[in-house]
């Protein structure tokens, strides 16, 4: 049985949409098979707000990769698509984060699943709930319950 995972992707540099679609293709070819993808969302930057608006989306993948190998794949796709790490939380051609991996909860120095900030980011919750309205955390809490706390964050669905 393969695992089911959810990934969040974001871009705010260059041709954002082309980069995100190229990332999905590279993930799929690398063994994170795309089962379902959300719409694209244009989102106001959070964390460091003086930077360009993001395009964000969430995908469900089926994979035989371990969480560590899935992380390595995400990071290699980021690098292949020109991500350069400059300042923390700064603009990026593409960022790929693991949100959920089956019902696993893990904490290592390099990887925490579920993503520790996912419930506080509307740019994650809205696309995730679009493709998985019943999604929950490994402890059973439903993700739709967190939407009310982030109502102030600007997230707009855009046409593909």
Active-site position among 25, 36, 85, 97: 97
SS3 130: helix
Of 131, 115, 113, 123, which Cα lies nearest the Cα of 147?
123
Which of 67/127 has CB closer to ligand X6L? Answer: 127
| Known catalytic membership, residue 83 | yes
Which C-beta is closer to ligand X6L: that of 56 or that of 63?
A: 56
Residue 97 among the catalytic residues: yes
Per CB under 6 A, 93 contacts ligand X6L? no
According to the binding rule CB under 6 A, does residue 56 interact with ligand X6L?
Answer: yes
Options 45, 67, 114, 127; binder of ligand X6L; rule CB under 6 A: 45
* Three-state secondary structure call for residue 10: strand
Are 100 and 59 in contact, with CB atoms under 8 Å apart?
A: no
Q: Can you tell me the distance from the alpha carbon of 121 to that of 80, in angstroms, rounded to the nearest whole number?
A: 26
Q: Which residues are catalytic?
A: 83, 92, 95, 97
């Amino acid at each position: 049985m393969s695992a089911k995972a959810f990934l969040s992707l974001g871009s705010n540099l260059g041709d954002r949409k082309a980069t995100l679609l190229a990332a999905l293709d590279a993930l799929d070819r690398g063994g994170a098979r795309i089962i379902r993808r959300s719409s694209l969302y244009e989102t106001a930057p959070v964390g460091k707000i003086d930077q360009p608006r993001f395009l964000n989306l969430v995908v469900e993948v089926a994979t035989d990769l371990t969480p560590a190998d899935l992380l390595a794949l995400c990071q290699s796709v980021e690098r292949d698509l020109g991500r350069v790490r400059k300042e923390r939380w700064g603009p990026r051609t593409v960022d790929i984060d693991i949100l959920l991996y089956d019902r696993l909860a893990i904490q290592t120095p390099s990887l925490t699943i579920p993503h520790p900030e996912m419930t506080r980011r509307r740019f994650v919750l809205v696309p995730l709930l679009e493709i998985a309205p019943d999604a929950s955390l490994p402890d059973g809490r439903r993700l739709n319950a967190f939407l009310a706390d982030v109502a102030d964050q600007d997230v707009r669905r855009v046409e593909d």
